[in-house]
């Protein structure tokens, strides 16, 4: 358990954050199609090689989340991605859920699957060098949702996954994502987020998960993307911090937000606003507020790369820049001036 706590601290308590590059093949292909990159295994491998070989990535990134295809892949010269990351001082992790599937009897809701055979898969990933894992549950707050049944089914699965990870020596990242797509208000997101996190921590307790050896990966408390009222940076940050203080136990070593489809610069600015609040609070927050972004770090680089080998250096520059901006946000030091550097 000491090792788990030390790894969790290294991931989220060291002034750096996590880069998620764990898109399933179908999600990765969709993002490639949107920028005109080929939807092939070789293109996915090249994109991931671009990411893991980005110069100075380790200055801002403590850990990288891989996917089953990616953890088995290598650079063109045959060096495995796991080895490249470890040599750079970046901790390799692995997404282990099998995706969100329709929840029976609950139209519009999903439950994340992947518990069957998970113990054996975790053992294999440990052998391959993974030191932490991720499981994402999806909760929709739109149109009268979520149902209690959906929250409980997902919270239970997250807790069973987390217990299996700790048994295998992996730090579980527990990710219950309340979606931002839709017209719902910030208030609706706040209610759904609180109820979900409350249920998740109850289930983690019931399944004997040691909170000191896990990381929480929540959504920020936000208005829906299409909600007419969009709160200010400070309002979003204050609502998120206050909600988390109500439901996340102090023994959790750190919180690493997902970006959830926010524009990259907005995600950095909101993360920054939370850390400004944390720094000015009369008593310190019990946990560091870090990031575990996929789109908000990768998107600008992907739009530059578009599958073209000659654009690799420019894309790597953009990727390192976003990682650097988010690192600054952890100190409350993100600004328009840093954005332009």
Active-site residue set = 175, 217
Residue in 91, 103, 220, 294 binding ligand 13P, rule: CB under 6 A: 294
Stretch of 38-46, 280-288, 294-302, 321-329 lying at the interface with ligand 13P (CB under 6 A): 294-302
Task: Convert residues 255-274 into a mask of x (bound to ligand 13P by CB under 6 A) and - (unbound).
Answer: ---xxx--------------
Query: Is the CB of residue 177 less than 8 Å from the CB of residue 260?
Result: yes
Asked if 293 touches ligand 13P (CB under 6 A), the answer is yes
Nearer Cβ to ligand 13P, position 175 or 195? Answer: 175
Nearer Cβ to ligand 13P, position 261 or 286? Answer: 261
Asked if 20 touches ligand 13P (CB under 6 A), the answer is yes
Residue in 188, 295, 321, 327 binding ligand 13P, rule: CB under 6 A: 295
Q: How far is the CB of 65 from ligand 13P (least distance, A)?
A: 6
Stretch of 44-52, 98-106, 242-250, 292-300 lying at the interface with ligand 13P (CB under 6 A): 292-300
Stretch of 39-47, 181-189, 253-261, 316-324 lying at the interface with ligand 13P (CB under 6 A): 253-261
Q: How far is the CB of 27 from ligand 13P (least distance, A)?
A: 9
Question: What is the footprint of ligand 13P within residues 167-206 (CB under 6 A)?
Answer: 175
Q: How far is the CB of 310 from ligand 13P (least distance, A)?
A: 27
Which has the closest alpha carbon to 271: 216, 321, 214, 222? 222
Stretch of 115-123, 230-238, 272-280, 287-295 lying at the interface with ligand 13P (CB under 6 A): 287-295
Nearer Cβ to ligand 13P, position 103 or 137? Answer: 137
Q: How far is the CB of 219 from ligand 13P (least distance, A)?
A: 8
Binding site for ligand 13P (CB under 6 A): 20, 136, 175, 258-260, 293-296
């Amino acid at each position: 358990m000491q090792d788990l706590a030390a790894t969790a601290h290294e991931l989220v308590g060291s002034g750096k954050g996590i880069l998620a590059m764990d898109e399933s093949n179908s999600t990765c292909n969709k993002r490639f199609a949107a920028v005109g990159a080929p939807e092939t295994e070789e293109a996915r491998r090249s994109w991931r090689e671009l990411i893991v070989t980005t110069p100075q990535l380790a200055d801002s990134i403590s850990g990288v989340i891989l996917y089953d295809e990616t953890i088995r892949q290598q650079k063109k010269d045959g060096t495995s991605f796991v080895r490249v990351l470890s040599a750079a001082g970046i901790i390799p992790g692995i997404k282990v859920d099998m995706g969100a599937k329709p929840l029976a009897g609950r139209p519009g809701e999903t439950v994340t699957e992947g518990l069957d055979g998970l113990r054996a898969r975790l053992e294999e990933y440990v052998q391959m060098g993974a030191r932490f894992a991720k499981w994402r549950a999806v909760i929709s707050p739109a149109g009268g949702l979520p149902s209690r049944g959906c929250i409980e089914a997902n919270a239970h699965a997250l807790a069973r996954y987390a217990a299996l990870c700790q048994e295998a020596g992996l730090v579980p990242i527990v990710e219950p994502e309340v979606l931002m797509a839709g017209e719902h208000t910030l208030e609706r997101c706040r209610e759904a987020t609180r109820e979900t996190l409350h249920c998740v921590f109850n289930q983690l307790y019931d399944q004997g998960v040691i909170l000191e050896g896990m990381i929480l990966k929540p959504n920020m408390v936000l208005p829906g993307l299409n909600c007419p009222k969009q709160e200010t940076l400070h309002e979003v940050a204050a609502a998120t911090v206050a909600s988390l203080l109500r439901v996340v136990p102090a023994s959790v070593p750190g919180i690493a937000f997902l970006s959830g489809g926010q524009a990259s610069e907005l995600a950095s600015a909101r993360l920054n606003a939370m850390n400004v609040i944390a720094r000015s609070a009369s008593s310190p927050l019990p946990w560091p507020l870090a990031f575990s972004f996929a789109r908000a770090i990768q998107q600008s680089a992907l739009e530059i790369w578009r599958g073209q080998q000659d654009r690799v250096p420019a894309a790597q520059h953009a990727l390192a820049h976003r990682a650097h901006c988010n690192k600054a946000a952890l100190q409350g030091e993100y600004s328009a001036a840093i954005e332009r550097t």
